[in-house]
Amino acid sequence: MNSISVRALLVRGMLAGLIAGVLALAVAYFLGESRVDAAIALEEAHSHEHDGEELVSRALQSTAGLATGVLVFGVAIGGIAALVFCYALGRIGRFGPRATAALIAGAALLTVYVVPFLKYPANPPAVGNPDTIGRRTGLFFLMVALSVLLAVAAVILGRRLAPRLGNWNATIAAAAGYVVVIGLAYAFLPSFNEVGKDFPATLLWEFRLATLAVQVTLWTVFGVVFGHLTERLLAPGAASAGTSAAASNRTAAAAG
């Protein structure tokens, strides 16, 4: 793949990430912010300490701050995923641009977020010991790194086993190896149970589901949009043929 194609794919990846970020921002605002406000209200109700005025107001955090964080993250992961796409296209099976984009988005959602989330789920304000926040953050990113590296190793293992076992059996063996090693990481890495007895379980559950919904929205929209953009760039004939066929079908249905 030449440098012009890589640059064009990088731009499309960042654009797809921006679009995905806009929709993920809407999910975060409408599903997550009310839970954050409720958790902050609980924290303030049980706290007798007053540290003075906030450096950044809650209104700014929930609007401009949230938008900046989500959109910048969307553009960043879009660019990274586009570079991964450049390497993966044609190397992970006989998949076209759209299918490759969908596979990358699904694998990223699983390895970058879902697997670490199951070990170290997100917590709202008022949950967690401030003294352990550094350790918890470090372990979460360690889990992300392990998950991504093990996923890459599983892909390499699957490709090496494919000539002997066949593609299907090699994929199952590589996936099983990934699950086993991740299970060992779950077992040996420390866990944290710092949810207070007075914190509502329903609010905690809703907050965690909201954070998961943000990531699912982000990666799903990215996979769909980026797949469409890459197919138009790399296989314009197939994309136009598919559009013409769909238009012909609609015309025939209307005539019938």
Q: pLDDT tens digit string along 127-176?
A: 767 778 888 889 999 999 999 999 999 988 988 888 888 888 988 999 99
pLDDT of residue 237: 55
Q: What's the confidence (pLDDT) of residue 243?
A: 47
Q: What residues contact residue 100 under an 8 Å CB cut-off, 6+ apart? A: 85, 88, 89, 92, 227, 230
**CA atoms of 137 and 125, how far apart (whole Å):** 15
Terminal Cα-to-Cα distance of the chain (whole angstroms): 45
Q: Over range 204-221, report the average pLDDT.
A: 92
Q: What is the mean pLDDT of residues 214-234?
A: 92
Place of tokens 């609609």: 250
Closest CA to 68 of 25, 113, 17: 25
Model's pTM, two decimal places?
Answer: 0.80
**Closest to 67 in 3D by CA, of 246, 189, 214, 191:** 214
- Determine the pLDDT at residue 4: 61
Task: Identify the pLDDT of residue 186.
Answer: 94
